[in-house]
Amino acid sequence: DNSQDKTAEKISNISNISNKKLFFFQNKFNKGLNSTISEAFNHSHGDYCAFLGSDDFFDPHYLEELVKFINLNGGDFSVFYPQIIPVDDNGEILKDKINFRKEPYPTNNEILKELFLHGNGLASTGMIINRKAAKKIFPLDAGIHQHQDFIMHIQLLLLGRCAFLKEAKTCYRVPTDNNGHMSSNCVKAYKRI
C-alpha cells in the first residue's frame, strides 16, 4: 500500500531471489487497507487466499498444517482461522495473553454471538479464505478505514462454515500506543473511526 517502512525493499530483495513464485505489486499512493486487499485479491490465482500483516508472521509450519487440513476435510469451508500467538514489539511471545481455541468447528451463530457481545476475537492475520467465498465479498468497501476485518468476518460467517486449525499458528503483534498498529489505542485510530 505504498507504505513508508522497509516492506517494499525487503519484498523486492526476496522476489529477485525467487522470482518464479513471488509477485510483488505496490500502489503508487497509499489507498488504504481495503483497497489494497482487494487489489491483491485481483492479482491472486490460487483456490485460497492468506492474509498476513507486515508486522505479523506465520509459524514455520503454518501453511503445511493448513494444506494437511484442507486435504483431509475438503474445501467446503469459507474461512479458516489459525491459533493466535500474541507477540510484543520485539517478536517475543506474550505467554499470559495466549488463549488457544479448543473447539475446531464452532457454529457460525456461536462465533457471531461472540463477535457482537464480547468483541472481535478473530484474527485477520493468518486467516485463509476460500476463493469461492472471497469472490462474493470482494471488492471490499474502500470507504471503511477501521474495523474492516470485523465486517469481513461477519460476511464470511454468513456465507459458510469456518474452522479453527489446532496446529496452524500465526504470531500476531499486539497493538500498543507505540507500534503504530492500526488497532492501537491511539489518536490516529480514533480519527479513522
Distance, CA of 152 to CA of 156 (rounded, Å): 6
Residue 38 phi, psi (nearest 5): -60, -40
* Beta strand extents in 23-94 (DSSP E only): 48-50, 57-58, 77-87
- What residues are paired with 171 via a beta bridge? 57, 85
Reply yes or no on whether the pLDDT at 189 is more than 70: no
User: For 96, which DSSP code?
Assistant: G
* Cα–Cα nearest to 138, from 129, 147, 146: 129
Specify the pLDDT at position 6. 82
Q: List, for residues 113-150, the tens digit of each pLDDT value.
A: 988 888 777 878 889 999 999 999 999 998 887 778 88
Q: List, for residues 40-56, the tens digit of each pLDDT value.
A: 999 998 899 998 888 89
CB 41 within 8 A of CB 49: yes
Looking at every residue in the chain, the average pLDDT score rounds to 84
* Cα–Cα nearest to 161, from 129, 122, 114, 193: 129
CB 60 within 8 A of CB 135: no
- Average the pLDDT over 7-13 and give the result: 80
Distance, CA of 129 to CA of 163 (rounded, Å): 11
Q: Which long-range contacts (CB under 8 A, 24 or more apart) does 46-49 make?
A: 46/131, 47/75, 47/130, 47/131, 48/80, 48/128, 48/129, 48/130, 48/131, 49/128, 49/129, 49/131, 49/134
